[in-house]
C-alpha cells in the first residue's frame, strides 16, 4: 500500500460518501491513507451540514474557491413549484446567459457517488442536460422527456455511470424506443448493485415479449439484480397469463397474483406480479459481498435458495465416510427394522452391506428445485409476527437441512 501515489490515494478517498467516511475515519490507521481520509472527512462534513443558528449559506463563489473539497449532492429544478415563495423574474435571462455557464463551472463538483437529479420543467431541463451531458455521472435520476437530448443524457448515464441505481421516467411523450434503454439498465450485470426503474410514463408500453426477454436473460446468466415498475397496460393479456403460469403462482386475491421462478443452477429468483406491475430479479451474493440485497429484501426466499443450492457434506451412518449429500442413499428396510432416525449410507456400503435387499435402497430424498419453487410460492407476505414467520421458515426449510 505504500507504493501507491498520494494523488491516487486522494482520488480514491474523494469518491467516498459522508456515510462511508464516518465509518472509515475512526478505523483507518495506515500512515499513507489516514491523512487523506481525515482531511476529506473533516472538510466534507463542514460543507454538508447546515448551520441553522447563524443562517450560513454557501454561494457559488465559495463553491468555486473551495472546489477542491466541495461536493454537490443534488441538482434539482423548482421552477414548477408555484407554492414556493419564489418569484422567477430572471428565469429566461439565466437560461440564455449565466445559468449554463454556472452549471458548466460547478459540474465537476457534482458527486457521482450520491448525487441526485430532478427536474419537471422542459425549458430548464434542456438547459441542465446541455450543461451536464457527458460531464456528470449520478446516483439517482428523475427525468422528463424534452427531446433527443434527454435520450442521449439517459443513455450516457446508463452506459457510463458506475453508481447509478435508480431511474424514474416521468411525464409524457416518451418514445417507445426508450424502452431499450430501460431494459439495458435492468440487464447490466453489476455485482453488488441492485437497480430500480420506475417507468411512470404510460407512453412507453411494457408487453409480454419484453418481460419474456428479461426472464430469458435472467435464465441465461442467473446474476441479475433489478426491480422494474411499469404503469402501462399489457396488451397481450392472454400471452401474459401463459407466461406467468410457467412459474409458481400465488394469488393474493382473484385479481392480484405473483409468479415465482427459481433459477436452475444459480441462487437467484425472479418474480412477475400484476400487483403494482412489477418484474424483478434477486440474486444471492453472500459469498461475494457483505451486503446481500436478496437477504435484506426477501429473507425467507434467501434462506431456501441458499440451502437448496449448497451441497452440505454428510457422514455415512455405516462406515463414517464423509461425502457430499447428493452421493448418499437411504434404506427403508434398515430404517424400519431399527425403528430409529433416517440412515444415510454411501454407495460402497450399499454394495457391501445392503445388496441382499437392494430393492429397498433408494437415493436419499432431497428437496429438488421444483419442490423449493412450490414452497416459495406458498410463503405468505410478511403479515405474521416475528415468531410466526420464523416458525414458517423453519418448517419449509426442514426438508432442505435434514
Cross-strand partners of 143: 169
Instruction: Give mean pLDDT, residues 50-55.
Output: 42
* Predicted local confidence at residue 155, as pLDDT: 95
Model confidence at 175, pLDDT cuts 50, 70, 90, reads very high
* Predicted local confidence at residue 14, as pLDDT: 75
DSSP, collapsed to helix, strand or coil, labels residue 362 as strand
Instruction: Give mean pLDDT, residues 36-56.
Output: 53
Give the tens place of pLDDT for each residue, 330-352. Answer: 887 776 554 445 677 888 888 88
Which set of grid coordinates corresponds to residue 159?
452506459
Phi, psi of 243 (to 5 degrees): -65, -50
State how far the Cα of 122 lies from the Cα of 91, in Å rounded to an integer.
Answer: 13
Where is pLDDT greater, at 83 or 172? 172
* Predicted local confidence at residue 375, as pLDDT: 62
Instruction: Give mean pLDDT, residues 54-78.
Output: 59
Give the tens place of pLDDT for each residue, 258-311. Answer: 888 888 778 899 999 887 788 999 998 888 888 888 888 888 788 777 666 545
Under 8 Å between Cβ of 39 and 77? no
First to last CA, the chain: 47
* Predicted local confidence at residue 315, as pLDDT: 80
* Predicted local confidence at residue 219, as pLDDT: 92
- pLDDT mean across residues, the chain: 76
Does position 41 have pLDDT exceeding 90, yes or no? Answer: no
Instruction: Give mean pLDDT, residues 184-196.
Output: 87
Does position 249 have pLDDT exceeding 80, yes or no? Answer: no
Where is pLDDT greater, at 96 or 181? 181
In terms of DSSP bridges, do strands 195-199 and 226-230 run parallel, antiparallel, or are they unpaired?
A: parallel
Instruction: Give mean pLDDT, residues 80-91.
Output: 50
pTM of the model: 0.64
Q: What is the Cα 377 distance to its own chain's centre?
A: 21
Give the tens place of pLDDT for each residue, 117-162. Answer: 877 777 778 888 888 888 889 999 999 998 999 999 999 999 999 8
Where is pLDDT greater, at 61 or 176? 176
* Predicted local confidence at residue 58, as pLDDT: 47
Long-range (24+ apart) CB contacts under 8 A made by 13-21 are 13/37, 13/40, 14/40, 15/112, 15/113, 16/40, 16/113, 17/111, 17/113, 17/114, 18/44, 18/45, 18/48, 21/45
Does position 57 have pLDDT exceeding 50, yes or no? Answer: no
Highest mean pLDDT: which range of 61-70, 103-112, 113-122, 201-210: 201-210
Amino acid at each position: 500500500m505504500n507504493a501507491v501515489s498520494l494523488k491516487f490515494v486522494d482520488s480514491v478517498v474523494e469518491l467516498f460518501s459522508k456515510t462511508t467516511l464516518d465509518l472509515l475515519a475512526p478505523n483507518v490507521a495506515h500512515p499513507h491513507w489516514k491523512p487523506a481520509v481525515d482531511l476529506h472527512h473533516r472538510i466534507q462534513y463542514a460543507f454538508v451540514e447546515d448551520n441553522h443558528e447563524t443562517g450560513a449559506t454557501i454561494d457559488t463563489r465559495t463553491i468555486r474557491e473551495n472546489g477542491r473539497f466541495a461536493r454537490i449532492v443534488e441538482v434539482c429544478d423548482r421552477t414548477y413549484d408555484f407554492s414556493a415563495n419564489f418569484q422567477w423574474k430572471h428565469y429566461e435571462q439565466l437560461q440564455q446567459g449565466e445559468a449554463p455557464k454556472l452549471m458548466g463551472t460547478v459540474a465537476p463538483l457534482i458527486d457521482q457517488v450520491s448525487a441526485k437529479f430532478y427536474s419537471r420543467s422542459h425549458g430548464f431541463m434542456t438547459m441542465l442536460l446541455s450543461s451536464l451531458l457527458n460531464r456528470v455521472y449520478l446516483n439517482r435520476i428523475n427525468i422528463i422527456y424534452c427531446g433527443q437530448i434527454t435520450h442521449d443524457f439517459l443513455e450516457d448515464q446508463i452506459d457510463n455511470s458506475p453508481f447509478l441505481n435508480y431511474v424514474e421516467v416521468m411525464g409524457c411523450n416518451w418514445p417507445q424506443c426508450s424502452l431499450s434503454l430501460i431494459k439495458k439498465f435492468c440487464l447490466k450485470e453489476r455485482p453488488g448493485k441492485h437497480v430500480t426503474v420506475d417507468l411512470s410514463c404510460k407512453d412507453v408500453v411494457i408487453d409480454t415479449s419484453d418481460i419474456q426477454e428479461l426472464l430469458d436473460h435472467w435464465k441465461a446468466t442467473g446474476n441479475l439484480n433489478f426491480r422494474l415498475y411499469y404503469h402501462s397496460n399489457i396488451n397481450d393479456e392472454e400471452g401474459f397469463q401463459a407466461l406467468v403460469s410457467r412459474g409458481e403462482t400465488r394469488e393474493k386475491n382473484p385479481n392480484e397474483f405473483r409468479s415465482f421462478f427459481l433459477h436452475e443452477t444459480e441462487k437467484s429468483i425472479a418474480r412477475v406480479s400484476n400487483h403494482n406491475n412489477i418484474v424483478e430479479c434477486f440474486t444471492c451474493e453472500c459469498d461475494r459481498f457483505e451486503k446481500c440485497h436478496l437477504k435484506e429484501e426477501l429473507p425467507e426466499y434467501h434462506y431456501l435458495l441458499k440451502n437448496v443450492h449448497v451441497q452440505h457434506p454428510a457422514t455415512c451412518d455405516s462406515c463414517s465416510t464423509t461425502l457430499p449429500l447428493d452421493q448418499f442413499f437411504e434404506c427403508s428396510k434398515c430404517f424400519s427394522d431399527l425403528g430409529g432416525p433416517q440412515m444415510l449410507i454411501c454407495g460402497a456400503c450399499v454394495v457391501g452391506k445392503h445388496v441382499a435387499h437392494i430393492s429397498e435402497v433408494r437415493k436419499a430424498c432431497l428437496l429438488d428445485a421444483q419442490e423449493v419453487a412450490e414452497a416459495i410460492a406458498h410463503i405468505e407476505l410478511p403479515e405474521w409476527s416475528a415468531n410466526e414467520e420464523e416458525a414458517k421458515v423453519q418448517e419449509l426449510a426442514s426438508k432442505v437441512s435434514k
